[in-house]
Amino acid sequence: MEKSRSVQSSVVVCLLMVRLLGAAENASWPQWRGPQRDGSVSSAPWPESLQETHLLQHWRVELPPSYSGPVVMQDKVFVTFTRDKRYEGVRALDRKSGEKLWETEWEGAMEVAKLGTSMGSWIRATPAADGGRLFVAGMPDLLVCLDSHTGAELWRADFHKRYGTPLPELGFVCSPLVVGDGVYVQTADSFVKVDKKTGKSLWRSLVRKGKASRDDLGQGNYSSPDFAVIHGRSQLLVADIDAIAGVDPANGKVLWHRVLDSYDQGCILAPTVYRNGIYTSTRASRSGYYPLEYRDQKFSITDGWKNKLIVYMSSPVLIGDYAYAHLKNGRFACTDLRTGKVQWISNRTFGKYCSMVWNKDRILALTNEGQLVLLRADPEEFALLDSRTVSTEETWGHLAIVGRHVYVRERNAVAVFRWQ
């Protein structure tokens, strides 16, 4: 018990230090959705225009295809790629010029199931950087650790071989999370903690049971994990194919678990903490808020409110008591998290997917169609400030923002823009 409490305290301290530093400086973008993994940006206020007089392209480098978001650490930008439908890899670019510093690739690409072929079979998950290491999720349920300074491979964890499980239908799409001594990943059929120094599995939790949908492909997981402190207890937030859960980072014990509606459609969103509860949405039915209670050292989860908004693939941003989200029907919407009341829904659509970041009262979204959209975060009305097409290619990778620079991963390039 004392050891578990010590590990938990250390994890909390490590995460809080990282998040405080990220919030104070925003000098890096080390993982999916940024330093605090919530899309928040700490910088000077953004202008109300996206035109070239305010947002100018700094450099652009063509690359093999990828749907991963860029990662920015110190003087480097890290981008993933899939080459010739056979190799996956990472290229490190100079942050100032885009010049190639190193490139590493490995054999290990895979072809996705039929339902995902329209989106291509290239690498999807955004890497995570921690110290001198870069953790990259390869499509065939593979986690590769690279030296971020040289690109040398330090270790790899092949979960398909390690656990004898089917390959995920759409590949390894969940972005890894680094907290303390562990890297936390959603594999094809479970949630796993590996030692970040060695790649050794430390525990395995939420193991799915049941027959795969194909002999060689399992259903997979689609939601990236997050870390939170709820009722003073550190935990990992996980959404698998049909449920949300809280997991103890020390031992993998499931602290609470809740099956959601619409099992056949699954859950893609990362669970989001609001006060001491979880806000999320299933893929085909509704959004909801689930309060968590903690009594006698046990968690229980209950129903709060539900509404009919379907937040599909785009993780929402929470600003104050409001959630700003991109819906399955392509529209933006705002929800009062206290009551579930829908404040507004935009009267026009913006692509199939948006990655969203926010800074003070501004929201910047990148659609999958190469369009940047700038909104004012206003719970009373949909306030579109500006929009601009920055790429003619698909842009499914998550936006990255560091200081005055905006990093956009096009399917076959990465482009950097600078606020003027």
Say if residue 280's pLDDT is above 80.
yes
The region of weakest confidence among 3-7, 44-48, 172-176, 280-284 is: 3-7
pLDDT at residue 18, rounded to an integer = 45
Q: Which of 363, 374, 390 is nearest to 52 (CA)?
A: 390
User: Comparing 4 with 51, which gets the higher pLDDT?
Assistant: 51
Decide: 373 and 362 in contact? Cβ < 8 Å. no
Lowest mean pLDDT across 265-279, 296-310, 401-415: 265-279
Whole-number average pLDDT of the chain: 90
- Mean pLDDT to the nearest integer, 268-286: 89
Identify the pLDDT of residue 242: 78
Residue 344 has phi, psi (to 5 degrees) of -165, 160
408 pLDDT exceeds 70?
Answer: yes
Residue 9 banded pLDDT, cuts 50, 70, 90: low
| pLDDT-wise least confident of 165-169, 189-193, 384-388 | 165-169
Average pLDDT over residues 274-283: 92
Q: Which of 181-185, 286-290, 355-359 has the lowest mean pLDDT?
A: 286-290
| Residues 131-149: tens digit of each pLDDT | 899 999 999 999 999 999 9
Position 276 scores a pLDDT of 96
pLDDT band at 158 (very low <50, low <70, confident <90, very high): very high
pLDDT of residue 10: 52
CA-based nearest residue to 31, from 179, 172, 158, 180: 179
Distance CA 348, CA 54 (A): 25
pLDDT at position 26, please? 62
**pLDDT category of residue 22 using cuts at 50, 70 and 90:** very low
pLDDT tens profile 47-99: 999 999 999 999 999 999 999 999 999 999 999 999 998 999 999 999 999 99
- The better pLDDT of the pair 365, 116 is held by 365
Residue 18's H or E segment, with its range, is helix 2-25
Percent of the chain's residues with pLDDT above 70: 89
pLDDT at 154 over 50: yes
pLDDT cut 90: percent of the chain above it: 77
Q: What is the pLDDT of residues 191-235, one digit of tens each?
A: 999 999 999 999 999 998 765 443 444 578 889 999 999 999 999
Amino acid at position 54, single letter:
H
The per-residue pLDDT for 283 is 77
Distance separating alpha carbons of residues 257 and 329, to the nearest angstrom: 29
Cα gap 380→373, rounded to integer Å? 19
Question: What is the pairing mode between strands 100-107 and 87-94?
Answer: antiparallel
pLDDT at 109: 84
Q: Domain residues of the chain, as ranges? A: 65-220
User: What pLDDT, on the 0 to 100 scale, is given for residue 116?
Assistant: 54
pLDDT of the residue at 3: 47
pLDDT the model gives residue 215: 40
What is the per-residue pLDDT for 309?
94
CATH 3.40.190.10 fits 65-220, yes or no: no
Segment 406-413 shows an average pLDDT of: 98
Task: For residues 269-283, give the mean pLDDT.
Answer: 92
Decide if pLDDT at 34 tops 70.
Answer: yes
CA distance 420 to 406: 11
Q: How far apart are CA 239 and CA 173, in angstroms?
A: 13
Statement: residue 382 has pLDDT above 50? yes
Task: Return d(Cα 290, Cα 72) in angstroms, integer.
Answer: 34
Give the tens place of pLDDT for each residue, 95-126. 999 999 999 999 988 888 765 556 678 999 99
